[in-house]
Structures are given as structure tokens and as C-alpha cells.
């Protein structure tokens, strides 16, 4: 069976798309090729790395990539994780890609105490986890 190519797209490929990338890798266990990118690059958010590490998922080696770096990849699924990316998504040359969208809250935009920010990252992590788990079960499971 051919591995599916999945792209997670966000504005800056810093936080939400990185968290989703980590969960999709985790839930597919290497049975799919997971990519994440942004329409800009902001670097991987250290709080996203720390939040995922708390859940036992290491995204510390991820890089922040521009979507154009993957022009040669024929994607099966493109998941936009913020409204800005969905509205400003460049045309991705993929004939068969199923496009999905879910606007996850951006914990990097939270103003508050360190504890409040940490809680916002955890809440977003769990919401994205549930979405990714359902996506893998519904779209990528062969059973």
C-alpha cells in the first residue's frame, strides 16, 4: 500500500501546524508521510515543543518550512489549521488532494501569566490531538 502524503498548513508553521504534524506522526506510526508548512516561516515555537514533550511527543527536530518547498509532492490531504492559511493558501499543484480545514485557537497569541499561556498551549494541544486521532481513524486507517 502506498503511503499517503499529508500536508498541515498554517500561517507561520510555528505552533498549531507543528503540533498537528507531531500528532499525525504519532498516530500514523510511520504509515503516512507527514509534512507541515506555512505561507510564512516563524520558526518552531519553543512552547509548542515543550507542550508536546509533556505529552511524550518530540517535535524538537522539526523545522519551519514554506509551503513552496513541497511543490513537487503530490498530496493526498491538505489540512489547514487556521483561517488565515485557509483564506490565503497558495494554489498547491495536487490533482487529488482532499482539503480539510479546522481553525484551532492560537495559543501563541494569548496574553496572560505564564500559567495561563501554558494552559492555552495544553488546550490547543489536546484539541489538535483529538482532531488528528479522528482524522487518522477516518481517513488513513485501512480497516
Residue with cell 509532492: 73
132 as an active site residue: the answer is no
Report the b/e string of 2-14 with b at 16+ CB within 10 A.
eebbbbbbbbbbb
Catalytic residue among 6, 10, 120, 132: 10
66, 73, 89, 123: which is the annotated catalytic residue?
Answer: 89
Could you tell me the sign of the dihedral formed by the alpha carbons of 105, 109, 111, 113, in that order?
Answer: positive
Write the DSSP symbol of residue 66: B
| CA neighbor of 104 nearest in space, from 46, 27, 48 | 48
Write down the catalytic residue from 82, 85, 92, 120: 82
15 catalytic per annotation: no
26 and 5 Cβ atoms separated by less than 8 Å: no
Alpha carbon distance 85, 83 (integer Å): 5
Residue carrying C-alpha cell 485501512? 142
Catalytic residue list contains 89: yes
Which residues are identified as catalytic?
10, 82, 89
Amino acid at each position: 500500500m502506498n503511503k499517503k502524503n499529508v500536508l498541515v498548513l498554517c500561517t507561520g508553521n510555528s505552533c498549531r501546524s507543528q503540533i498537528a504534524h507531531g500528532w499525525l506522526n504519532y498516530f500514523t506510526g510511520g504509515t503516512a508521510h507527514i509534512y507541515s508548512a506555512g505561507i510564512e516561516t516563524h520558526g518552531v515555537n519553543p512552547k509548542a515543543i515543550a507542550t508536546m514533550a509533556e505529552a511524550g511527543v518530540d517535535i524538537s527536530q522539526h523545522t519551519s518550512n514554506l509551503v513552496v518547498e513541497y511543490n513537487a509532492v503530490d498530496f493526498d490531504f491538505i489540512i489547514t489549521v487556521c483561517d488565515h492559511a485557509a483564506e490565503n493558501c497558495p494554489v498547491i499543484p495536487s490533482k487529488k488532494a482532499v482539503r480539510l480545514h479546522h481553525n484551532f485557537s492560537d495559543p501563541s497569541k494569548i496574553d496572560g501569566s505564564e500559567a495561563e499561556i501554558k494552559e492555552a498551549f495544553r488546550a490547543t494541544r489536546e484539541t489538535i490531538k483529538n482532531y488528528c486521532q479522528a482524522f487518522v481513524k477516518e481517513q488513513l486507517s485501512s480497516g
